[in-house]
């Protein structure tokens, strides 16, 4: 669980750069309309807040038991928040990518402002795109994270693993995925990432695996 805590803290630090440096930049805002700014960043600020709360809970538990902190119950408690924030963020990725491409080709003020922001040392030579893809990269690990956490909870509380695992899939009432969402996820597949074993992970596959109840 030390790896979980450390990786989430590192993820949060990067999200803060995305929000404090890029999202909050007045110079960048002036090059975009309000709608375009929302498409570019979606709900990344809310994602950062959720990660901050998650890290706070994890660090509190670590302070209570440094030797072997059990955090399965904490992860499960944060699942509804993850669901409500990451699904719309990943769904928006196709529009986000299209907007960046359009602005880079047609908006010189945007390009100038963005290059100036990216050249700042706080970015450590990382582009805006590399920060915007962080939530997607993080969600690819959520399914494994949940399964490990469920096993921990079951061991702690002597519960049936299969039964508790099924509960993950019903945090929210089953709903039909709209055509618009399906189209969005299909388009977002262009932003696929590669996992450690070389397999390509598509955004829609990640969402189906992590939040199956959403697509029933």
> Which DSSP helix (H) or strand (E) runs through 55?
helix 44-64
Looking at residue 185, what is its pLDDT? 40
Q: Output DSSP code: residue 200.
A: E
Cβ-contact 39, 95 below 8 angstroms: yes
Looking at residue 37, what is its pLDDT? 98
Higher model confidence: residue 69 or residue 34? 34
Task: Indicate the CATH number of 2-169 among 3.40.50.880, 1.20.900.10, 3.30.1600.10, 1.10.3720.10.
Answer: 1.20.900.10
List the domain boundaries for the chain: 2-169
Lowest mean pLDDT among 27-36, 48-57, 110-119, 196-205: 196-205
**CB-based contacts of 195, cutoff 8 Å, min separation 6:** 140, 201
Looking at residue 170, what is its pLDDT? 40
Over residues 38-76, the pLDDT tens digits come to 999 999 999 999 999 999 998 998 888 776 667 777 877
User: Mapping DSSP to helix (H, G, I), strand (E, B) and coil, where does residue 193 land?
Assistant: strand
How is the chain split among helix, strand and coil, in percent rounded to 5?
75, 0, 25
Considering Cα of 111, then 117, then 120, then 122, what sign does the dihedral take?
negative
Q: How many CA atoms lie within 13 A of 2 on its CB side?
A: 4
Structure tokens at 44: 């990344």
Over residues 96-106, the pLDDT tens digits come to 999 999 999 99
User: Mapping DSSP to helix (H, G, I), strand (E, B) and coil, where does residue 127 land?
Assistant: coil
Specify the pTM: 0.71
């Amino acid at each position: 669980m030390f790896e979980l805590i450390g990786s989430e803290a590192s993820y949060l630090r990067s999200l803060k750069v995305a929000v404090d440096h890029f999202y909050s930049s007045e110079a960048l805002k002036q090059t975009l309309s309000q709608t375009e700014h929302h498409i570019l960043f979606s709900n990344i600020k809310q994602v950062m807040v959720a990660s901050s709360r998650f890290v706070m809970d994890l660090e509190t538990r670590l302070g209570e038991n440094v030797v072997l902190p059990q955090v399965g119950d904490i992860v499960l408690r944060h699942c509804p928040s993850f669901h409500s924030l990451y699904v719309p963020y990943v769904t928006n990725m196709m529009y986000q990518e299209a907007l960046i491409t359009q602005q880079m080709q047609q908006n010189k003020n945007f390009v100038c402002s963005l290059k100036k922001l990216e050249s700042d040392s706080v970015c450590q030579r990382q582009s805006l795109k590399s920060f915007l893809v962080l939530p997607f990269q993080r969600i690819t690990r959520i399914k494994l994270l949940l399964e490990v956490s469920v096993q921990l909870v079951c061991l702690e509380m002597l519960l049936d693993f299969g039964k508790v695992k099924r509960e993950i899939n019903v945090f929210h009432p089953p709903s039909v995925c709209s055509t618009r969402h399906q189209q969005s996820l299909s388009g977002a597949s262009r932003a696929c990432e590669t996992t450690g074993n070389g397999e390509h992970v598509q955004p829609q596959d990640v969402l189906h695996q992590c939040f199956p109840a959403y697509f029933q």
